Amino acid sequence: MASFPSSSPNHCCSSTSNPDPGPSQPSLLVFSGGTAFNGVVEELKNFTTRVAHVLPVSDDGGSTAEIVRVLGGPAVGDIRSRCLRLSDQSTSEALAVRRLLGHRLPLDPREAKSEWYNIVEGEHPMWKGVSKPYRETIRAFLVYFQNQAYLYSGGQRKHIIHGCWNPPMGRPEEMKTERNSENGGQNGVKITNKEEFSQKMGPTHATFSDVLMTHFALAMAGARIFFQSLDAAIFLYSRVSDIPSESLVLPVISTNDRLTLGCELMDGTIIRGQNEISHPTTGSMEPINKARSLVPGLPSRIKRVFYMSSEGKNLLHEVFPAANPAVLEQLSNVDCIVYAMGSLFTSICPSLVLIGIGEVISSRFCPKVFLLNGTDDRETSGFSASCFVTAITDALNRTYGDHHNCLENLPSQYINTILVPRDGEIPVDVENLAAQGILDVILVNSIHDPKVGVIFDPKSLIDALAEVIGRYMSKTDTVA
């Protein structure tokens, strides 16, 4: 690891280290999505298990989209993914449970139907190695999910896991808006083609389309409906998967309702739906291909992300869900706050725009570490490192939202350290970062992933993070 040159003589350089977690581990809160940070979760466990993983619940792609569309409720895809990564792997039974919950049903409807019934009836070979208490607990919620899906589909005698037709539900389209505060629109946004949008959305039918689904996603959906609580479902599967009790998986919004993410572009365009923002599709239910070369660019840079109504006729109305109190509590007490790498506007910012998040982070004296991506994507094409910082600051300040809820905090009140993957594609404009008050910019060893490009080397990343935390703890001890 190395540090970027800085005009400040007080700029701290990193050194490679591997701190012993010991009996008193540091506590972290990590804002992330369900994919990019997963690659370092295993290595992070070797440093500390006292981690609060804060995840958005607005994903609307893949199997998550189908479950939400049919049964409603928040999206659990990112939560499912992180729970699986954190699950115990120390025993043969733990591995069997993880294998079972992580398994995806095949796309072929007949194969999926046969496999699903074998799983639900407890006769599938994948139950091998899973003891009766675990088996009956998991089966109970798979059965409950099946019953609920059947009820929501109107009792139609069609297979509920893979429908025999695709519902005539058009993909959300990009919509032009006009800025005019006198029109009565939310925050001065006037929708100029709302009727056209409603027509394109079309009617919905509660049947499942062909899409890969994991047993974990289906079981968690069943548990959420049974308990009428996402938090209770997460707690149950944290215990079933034997996730360390000090490791928390927290939805940034604690709700039993469906949440829809929207974004406003600099040119006034409004895009509805997380997947439409990051990886638009043609309406096919095939697994999402996230290869950068296959994703068209946005017509304009993203100005802000916000939450949109999922009910009623006015689907373009902005709503303001409350942040999960457990997230605010953790933010107030952890030793380090981390903004993980990943899709900036659809994985990280949905957790930052909520009232209370910026207020707590800005008040903390602790490491506030941003992990810069190694490559750009549709959301951040042309961004430099300082552009990422500006976007995070704007999200936490809610700069472009309701002016009554805006903050005016400086970037350095939210971020004080940036970790950069070596040979990454994102330009690191040190002078602009210094002007933002961010002087601690540390270069970390990287590896090349054939699918996504340059990413952090997991061990080097955790070593760098440990060094930053240790440095702050030393300062705190000196002051004390």
246: helix, strand or coil: coil
**In the prediction, which pLDDT does 192 show?**
33
pTM: 0.83
Residue 274 buriedness (CB in 10 A; 0-12 / 13-18 / 19+): buried
Coil vs helix vs strand at 251: strand
Give the span between the Cα atoms of 344 and 380, in whole angstroms.
Answer: 7
Q: What per-residue confidence (pLDDT) applies to 208?
A: 52
The domain limits of the chain are: 1-56+322-480, 64-169+207-245, 177-203+261-308
CA gap 49, 203 in Å, rounded: 46
Measured CA to CA, the distance from residue 31 to residue 54 in angstroms comes to: 5
- The position carrying tokens 């300062």 is 475
Quote the pLDDT of residue 474: 85
Q: Specify the CATH architecture of the domain 1-56+322-480.
A: 3-Layer(aba) Sandwich (3.40)
Q: What tokens does 381 get?
A: 């094409």
pLDDT along the chain (480 residues), means of 10: 47 40 81 92 95 92 75 86 90 91 86 89 92 91 86 54 35 36 36 36 42 74 89 90 93 91 94 88 50 73 92 74 97 98 96 97 98 95 97 97 91 98 97 98 96 95 97 76
pLDDT at 73: 86
Q: What's the rounded Cα separation, in Å, for the pair 367 and 464? A: 12
* C-beta separation of 426 from 372 below 8 A: yes
**pLDDT at position 428:** 98
Helix (H, G, I), strand (E, B) or coil at 14: coil
- Pairing mode, if any, of strands 260-265 and 440-444? unpaired
Tell me the pairing of strands 368-371 and 453-456.
unpaired
DSSP state of 183: G
Q: Is-contact 211 308, C-beta < 8 A?
A: no
* Residues facing residue 456 across a β-bridge: 446
